[in-house]
Structure 1
């Protein structure tokens, strides 16, 4: 453990860098509350999206890293601001009229448009928790409705009454003049309509802990700020929550970064200590637009998990959190294969390299072995050319390539075969486009057919490639049409001999003419997996124009 901690104290992996910064927070004395508190926030105004998941995952990675370098206990709270008024009806949910009739009511007072839970807020909270539980996160769930209603926020709300002018001064600096005239840090919940009101506050009584305001009809009300009658505006809510819970760490998206000084100062005014922060770049959809809960653009967690295992999504989230990421379908196969590459590398790495390996931050000390012996990208292309309808059909090809593999011994491979079929049917088949070969490509493809039929043609191709490279004396490989390395040598040689410059133009031809795709697997491995005779038939069909039509 000592060696691990020493390595962690110098690791350049971003979770360890953030963990070391957090440890400095308590270098003089441990926290009086007895633990370090991590928090993530969730605004349940729409269905939870993949960015929400990423926030909890990345916070968990930093929490795990902290636990390696420190013996101070930790907690993680996922806080849902479900007392917030529903300002806009999401586009991607049913019963729009029902929701429009309840605009501005707290999300936990809005009827569930799905008819499954007591409110829309409860529905979205349940969705979030289901997503988080799928990944095995250790967290405590806090509902703002309960937090305000059962009195846990009362002390902070009373303190806010006492410091009202100071907090307002912080907020007013950030607002336009028109907004300044009506702004208040408090949002009363109307006793009769139940709506969250954005109205000016006429008077704040710090001693009594009440606010006085006129509703939209001009009727005057006085309400206690405690007991769930009043909530904070969202910016003051950040700082107030940090102060009330004594939060030590919270991360959020770049869109919050300009508000950080506001959150911090309000926390300090209310008697708290500002937490450590981590600002991550935003998630974008395929068009480069920010992913939005209300728009429903971008991939959802359920959509990702329909085509790949959970770990591939965790791997995606680990990568460069301070760089904006586009999330679209083509990302999934790449993440699957990269994740398993890292898994295979992990056992042979030294302690330092292991701590820098993303799989350590996904799995902690219990990093599994990969049983994916065929790359996911290759499985996708196999599903495409074979027209596979289920994973059983895929295994007929897989066992030709890896005769010792089985669904029982290779669960990763078995799952990936099923995912590949589904991904192909849903996202490759509807969009793939084959093209006819050029004259240069046709000659090369005919040469490849000949080489797959006759070992002399194959060896002659490799010999010619060697001679052109000034390596005529280099020994030729042993002929083995079941060996992907031999097949790759043949494919490579034919591309060189037919003058493809750069050589990737040859492989682009293979993918576009034979697979109807812009990219694909290592082609020698694909031939070994799909079968030599089957590949010959595929090329012949392409040369006849049957694939392109």
Structure 2
């Protein structure tokens, strides 16, 4: 991904006119912000994303920044770059550690620090970071920097302690009763009896306390409560002596910073009206929202930072490019999607598919193409002669984890191809070898053919032997069809254009090939695969499995 440009070379009146009606979701959201500016003119628009550093950052966290950047660029186009924008990534690192994450070393060592602010909890990972919160913040920034995002990082601890939130905290003390009127109806009876929007940081233990308040002095800007030692204490609401409960904190931060746009996961959707009301109580119009669906793990469960049950940022980048991950974030953000290793190959191939289409599209279509949003209006030109799936199947058929072996097949397909002539293909070869070794090779499950399948594969072996070694993909594919067409099991009379004399070919024939020859459930277009892998090599593979 690229940062929002200061001067987009394609920013023309014609492009802006098309953007006014573009249907891609970033444009739909950007138009809401344009309308907002008509109601509330300002010189600078603030986009915000939130991060809870209670665990290591995962890809869902990145998704918020990537998607918000896409909306920010769409807004840049709609306003012809005339309105300054900022993206603030805000870390709620002053929150108390409510539970110890499952994926940290020496969990017992963190037990004494439960309920303390995350920037006070010792860092269990080492590496020179002062606290658990500092470590996780650094992990987030490192990854955002990898993608070249144009953003500013903000720490709640810094904002509370430096006084940047003092004005809104004093206002919250003044509006204490109004905030309670918003909050109490959302709570159960027992919780109502002890609830306070202000959470004091205990001078005795350093913990974030969930205790009822005995007094709120709006004029003095103080709260009084009973500390853990049983003694009543009075603290200022400013300077980091207290923090706000998370729901009031959401709305108060919007008010303090003047946030214009923020997106968040579906788990916040029911609370969004509360955030809005708090912001309004504090005298500021709440920002525009975008609610996205949550990511799921391989078992369909919500991914969690504390459980570590989803893909990490580094894991995706071990097996695929940053652009493929950005594409995954762009597509259908309001649909729940599985975030596991098996989604990577499809994401990689779809990215290059959209990139290839971009060159032939008119501007209206380009504004709906994901790569325009991923690259902030400047997609690169890339020649990708084979797919990631094809590379994985070449590795599978040859049972190799050697990059040179794959390059041998590729040079047969594209004479003279090399890492120097096709650098993006070179990256893909590296990723394919890693992915094959980690996920394909350990899970290959070959099965023996039954009598019908054995006869069909023998016929395919013979048919391939009649073709010249330099036969094209279509010629090979037609031979594949001709072998299957007379076999009742593989006939599909419901296929488009099928007739009893010339039936279509059912997917069962291709499943036979993939499962018996490659040990996989699916594969590439077989004609293209054989053209690259080689007819003699494919016949040898068939003979090996039949024997």
**Displacement of 1:28 after TM fit?**
4.8
Equivalent position to 2:296, from 256, 267, 284: 284
Q: How far apart are the structure 2 equivalents of 1:421 and 1:130?
A: 26
* 1:195 equivalent in alignment to 2:184: no
Equivalent position to 1:350, from 345, 350, 362: 362
**Displacement of 1:301 after TM fit?**
1.3
**Displacement of 1:30 after TM fit?**
2.6
Equivalent position to 1:45, from 44, 48, 54: 54
**Cα deviations by residue, 1:516-539 (Å, 9 ceiling, x for unpaired):** 111110111111111111111111
For 1:376-395, list aligned pairs within 5 A. Answer: 376-395=388-407
TM-score by length of 2: 0.93
Gaps of 5+ in 2: 1-11, 493-505
Equivalent position to 2:84, from 73, 83, 91: 73
Counterpart of 2:98 in structure 1 is 87
| Number of aligned residue pairs | 519
Q: Which has the higher contact order (CA 8 A, sep 6+)?
A: 2
Q: How far apart are the structure 1 equivalents of 2:484 and 2:420?
A: 39
Query: Once structures 1 and 2 are overlaid, which stretch shifts more, 385-394 or 18-27?
Result: 385-394
* 1:58 equivalent in alignment to 2:61: no
**Cα deviations by residue, 1:464-486 (Å, 9 ceiling, x for unpaired):** xxxxxxxxxxxxxxx66342121
Counterpart of 1:269 in structure 2 is 281
Counterpart of 2:491 in structure 1 is 501
* 1:251 equivalent in alignment to 2:276: no
Aligned Cα RMSD in Å? 1.1
Counterpart of 2:466 in structure 1 is 454
Counterpart of 2:17 in structure 1 is 6
SS of residue in 2 equivalent to 1:181: helix
**Displacement of 1:72 after TM fit?**
1.2
For 1:279-318, list aligned pairs within 5 A. Answer: 279-318=291-330
SS of residue in 2 equivalent to 1:306: helix
Counterpart of 2:28 in structure 1 is 17
Equivalent position to 1:111, from 122, 138, 153: 122
For 1:69-468, list aligned pairs within 5 A. Answer: 69-70=78-79, 71-116=82-127, 117-455=129-467
Counterpart of 1:462 in structure 2 is none
Q: How far apart are the structure 2 equivalents of 1:30 and 1:409?
A: 50
Q: How far apart are the structure 2 equivalents of 1:99 and 1:538?
A: 55
Equivalent position to 1:525, from 518, 528, 533: 528
Q: How far apart are the structure 2 equivalents of 1:497 and 1:30?
A: 72
**Displacement of 1:132 after TM fit?**
0.8
Gaps of 5+ in 1: 456-478, 545-549
* 1:492 equivalent in alignment to 2:492: no
SS of residue in 1 equivalent to 2:291: strand
**Displacement of 1:67 after TM fit?**
0.2
Q: How far apart are the structure 2 equivalents of 1:386 and 1:445?
A: 19
Partners of 2:86 and 2:151 within 8 A in 1? yes
Q: How far apart are the structure 1 equivalents of 2:471 and 2:309?
A: 44
**Displacement of 1:2 after TM fit?**
0.3
Partners of 1:391 and 1:414 within 8 A in 2? no
**Cα deviations by residue, 1:494-544 (Å, 9 ceiling, x for unpaired):** 122323034211001111001111111011111111111111111111112
Partners of 1:280 and 1:322 within 8 A in 2? yes
Q: How far apart are the structure 2 equivalents of 1:480 and 1:364?
A: 44
**Cα deviations by residue, 1:155-186 (Å, 9 ceiling, x for unpaired):** 00000000001101111110000111111101
CA gap of 1:297–1:29, structure 2 versus 1, over 3 A, is: closer
Q: How far apart are the structure 2 equivalents of 1:491 and 1:369?
A: 34
Q: How far apart are the structure 1 equivalents of 2:175 and 2:362?
A: 54
Runs of 4+ in 1 over 4 A off after TM superposition: none
Q: How far apart are the structure 1 equivalents of 2:346 and 2:518?
A: 17
TM-score by length of 1: 0.93
CA gap of 1:179–1:45, structure 2 versus 1, over 3 A, is: same
Q: How far apart are the structure 2 equivalents of 1:293 and 1:124?
A: 11
Query: Once structures 1 and 2 are overlaid, which stretch shifts more, 168-177 or 479-488?
Result: 479-488
Q: How far apart are the structure 2 equivalents of 1:374 and 1:180?
A: 62
SS of residue in 2 equivalent to 1:184: coil
SS of residue in 2 equivalent to 1:74: strand
**Cα deviations by residue, 1:406-437 (Å, 9 ceiling, x for unpaired):** 11111121111111111111111111100011
**Cα deviations by residue, 1:90-148 (Å, 9 ceiling, x for unpaired):** 00111211211211110000000011210000000000001111111100000000000
**Displacement of 1:271 after TM fit?**
1.3
Q: How far apart are the structure 1 equivalents of 2:67 and 2:406?
A: 35
Partners of 2:202 and 2:228 within 8 A in 1? no
Q: How far apart are the structure 1 equivalents of 2:78 and 2:281?
A: 32
